[in-house]
Structure 1
């Protein structure tokens, strides 16, 4: 007997996989939680952020106001008026700013208890000066292979002070590892653009975040008013505080060895004159790369970051903004170098690609350091790592950002020939 229509098995359509990215899924989930009252919508207002940080840490003294409150106010205003943050972007911004303020609270308390920290020597640092995407991470990690030098690890940059240390357990390591895992889940492409791990040498951009300063914010969010204010500001107190955080990291390590520190943030180029005032005995490794590649790769990185958090990740605006930023930094680097009389060496990106051994040997000679066979072997192991080779998979097209070679070269040539000229964003 043939089955009747009612007795036939029901054929349910196959469930289609969710094609949205992890970031898009997280954004939808957060908005739903806020609408239903399951979670409270984060408030990006200075008073609310400071209250949240104080509640999390159990402290209330943020220390000396060296300009950070004004920067926080400008940043919050720009986030509200310019950034067009998604729900995920709002949550990320809230988390970053509360964490920065919590670090300020911990630092103020520690420096008050242990003022000797601010006497810890930071002598003859090796400062890498170069545009974003000029090979600065490669140079920093090459130099970090040398056991005679020291460097900032990723988890130290973003969390210079632990919440607690108990019998050798340092919560900063766990927090650094978790932050990288979360970032990889939300934005898998970023680990190709900038590979990182908790213990690897990394730029001190997290310390700038604690100062509520710098391009780490500008690379994530569309905040031109904050960027222009930072470009025009006197940043000496930022770098005096930056030095204090380095002293704190060294003190927490208990490292008594007088090893020169390898420092790297692309922001150094924009602020080079001030950096050299705060670190007058610095030795410089100056990086150069074809400006078309610098601007194109920078715009690609910024678009990758901004698209995760903003409804206004306009590639044409990003192209204009980072062309102007690159030109400004070119001007500032040239001016700073003209005032520097200490050891300095210039390294070309392409030459480093062709023969890193010869270039590193030249760097060591210029800085007055021995390039030993042990150091060379360590660098060779780093150069052979898959994470380093992964950078070659970063592809972009400058036309996607409304740029062409002629426009980029003209802007950088103008910056070099006329230091007073400002390139319009």
Structure 2
């Protein structure tokens, strides 16, 4: 419906055609804000690679290119506002980011559940969903801090989520969330035009390959500064360690550790058949919103390869991490006995789990309401076989003792508790 409305509006001259051009988009953001400092210009290189791939490969429909232009405008405007806040309050950049706890695992390997359980403990700081959508407060935010007005960002996040669910109702079952739910920091990397979010939203394979050959330390430095800004906007104690997680870190562990040298790492693992099938389903259900030229078999091949590269780079980077700084968590252990598994995690973090249990139970009760239907998928619908996936990841599953089903259920109605 949105695609039809935009097409009709363009025919009538009421809606302009999308211009996915770097200089045009930069100029539009500067005109909208009256600002001209985007911070570190490093982001322009991935931006150029992304635009080239979007324009040449994504084959966006009218709703897709319209939303892409709006998304880029939002990101660029936020970069301008970010530098504005740093000039207004230079003390923000002095906030420490000590001992973050970083969950590192493939998409759909239980990272969300682990992240939200830890985020329910008030001894940690965490992002909320509206903050990963709109990490940067607007210029009038000091009035919010003074209690003179309401922060508009949660309402904006709620509207965006409603639109996404209308566009594809399955998004609710794949990744249940709400404006105030704990959320990953992928949006903070998107601020540098860097992240797997683009792969899962559009068909941009050349951008993905280009990123895999780059050093993303500048994107992680900007992410760290945005965490400082968000902590300041939350009026959060800088003594509380952040709980972080996004599958992007599997590809970028050396950069993560350069920016957060004292990070404590929790690695999650799951049967690759479930990871690949669920990740392909997540990407498929997003790309079909923005393009009318999607192919499920192509999506399956892309995410089989992407998952393999993520695991390969993660395994390579682990060789330089001291053993006492990391712990492995199996998806099946969380499924079978979450409490004992979380107790082991808390022993690793050298914290008493008892003060966190009430908050964890409240999250579990709330999550039952958030997730109203199971996420259903199969490998076959994406042109993949169980044997191919088992063979490709055999060394990984054996090395990390990952329980592997000999055969997935014949039905695609496999519940994927992320």
TM-score by length of 2: 0.90
1:49 and 2:25 are equivalent in the alignment: yes
Offset of 1:399 from its aligned partner? 0.8
Aligned counterpart in structure 2 of residue 89 of structure 1, from 60, 64, 81: 64
Q: Deviations over 1:310-359 (max 9, x none)?
A: 12221111111111110011011112222111422211111101111000
Contact 1:157 1:203 in 2 (8 A): yes
Aligned counterpart in structure 2 of residue 99 of structure 1, from 65, 70, 74: 74
1:79 and 2:54 are equivalent in the alignment: yes
Contact 1:195 1:388 in 2 (8 A): no
Three-state SS of the structure 1 residue aligned to 2:267 is strand
Q: Deviations over 1:139-177 (max 9, x none)?
A: 110001111111011111121212232324212222222
Three-state SS of the structure 2 residue aligned to 1:273 is helix
Offset of 1:387 from its aligned partner? 4.3
Contact 2:53 2:204 in 1 (8 A): yes
Output the CA distance in 2 between the equivalents of 1:223 and 1:384.
Answer: 38
Q: Deviations over 1:339-389 (max 9, x none)?
A: 1114222111111011110000110001111111x4112212222335467
Q: Which residue of 1 aligns with 2:329?
A: 347
1:328 and 2:303 are equivalent in the alignment: no
Offset of 1:415 from its aligned partner? 7.1
Gapped runs of 5+ residues in structure 1?
Answer: 1-24, 419-425
Q: Deviations over 1:235-255 (max 9, x none)?
A: 111111111110111122222
Contact 2:176 2:370 in 1 (8 A): no
Aligned counterpart in structure 1 of residue 348 of structure 2, from 366, 376, 379: 366
The aligned runs of 1:258-277 (5 Å cut-off) are 258-277=239-258
Q: Deviations over 1:104-137 (max 9, x none)?
A: 1111222233332211011000000000000111
1:155 and 2:134 are equivalent in the alignment: no
Output the CA distance in 1 between the equivalents of 2:367 and 2:261.
Answer: 37
Three-state SS of the structure 1 residue aligned to 2:268 is strand
Output the CA distance in 2 between the equivalents of 1:354 and 1:392.
Answer: 20
Given the superposition, is the C-alpha separation of residues 81 and 417 from structure 1 closer, same or farther in structure 2, using an over 3 Å criterion? farther
Aligned counterpart in structure 1 of residue 394 of structure 2, from 405, 409, 413: 413
Output the CA distance in 2 between the equivalents of 1:416 and 1:387.
Answer: 30
Q: RMSD of the TM alignment (CA)?
A: 1.8
Output the CA distance in 2 between the equivalents of 1:142 and 1:125.
Answer: 15
Three-state SS of the structure 1 residue aligned to 2:329 is strand
Q: Deviations over 1:64-109 (max 9, x none)?
A: 21x2111111111111110010101111111111100001111122
1:357 and 2:339 are equivalent in the alignment: yes
How many residues align? The count is 392
Three-state SS of the structure 2 residue aligned to 1:151 is coil
Contact 2:267 2:326 in 1 (8 A): yes
Output the CA distance in 1 between the equivalents of 2:363 and 2:30.
Answer: 41
Three-state SS of the structure 2 residue aligned to 1:302 is helix
The aligned runs of 1:200-215 (5 Å cut-off) are 200-215=181-196
Offset of 1:391 from its aligned partner? 7.2
Three-state SS of the structure 2 residue aligned to 1:294 is helix
Contact 2:106 2:307 in 1 (8 A): yes
Aligned counterpart in structure 2 of residue 38 of structure 1, from 1, 7, 14: 14
The aligned runs of 1:379-394 (5 Å cut-off) are 379-387=360-368, 390=371, 393-394=374-375
Three-state SS of the structure 2 residue aligned to 1:403 is coil
Q: Which residue of 2 aligns with 1:16?
A: none
Contact 1:222 1:312 in 2 (8 A): no
Contact 1:158 1:205 in 2 (8 A): no
Deviates more, 1:113-122 or 1:216-225: 113-122
Aligned counterpart in structure 1 of residue 44 of structure 2, from 53, 63, 69: 69
TM-score by length of 1: 0.89
The aligned runs of 1:116-195 (5 Å cut-off) are 116-163=91-138, 164-165=140-141, 166=143, 167-195=148-176
Q: Which residue of 1 aligns with 2:413?
A: none
Output the CA distance in 2 between the equivalents of 1:86 and 1:415.
Answer: 39
Deviates more, 1:340-349 or 1:297-306: 340-349
Output the CA distance in 1 between the equivalents of 2:72 and 2:13.
Answer: 23
Output the CA distance in 2 between the equivalents of 1:176 and 1:57.
Answer: 21
Offset of 1:392 from its aligned partner? 6.1
| Structure of higher RCO (CA pairs closer than 8 Å, 6+ residues apart) | 2
Given the superposition, is the C-alpha separation of residues 417 and 69 from structure 1 closer, same or farther in structure 2, using an over 3 Å criterion? farther
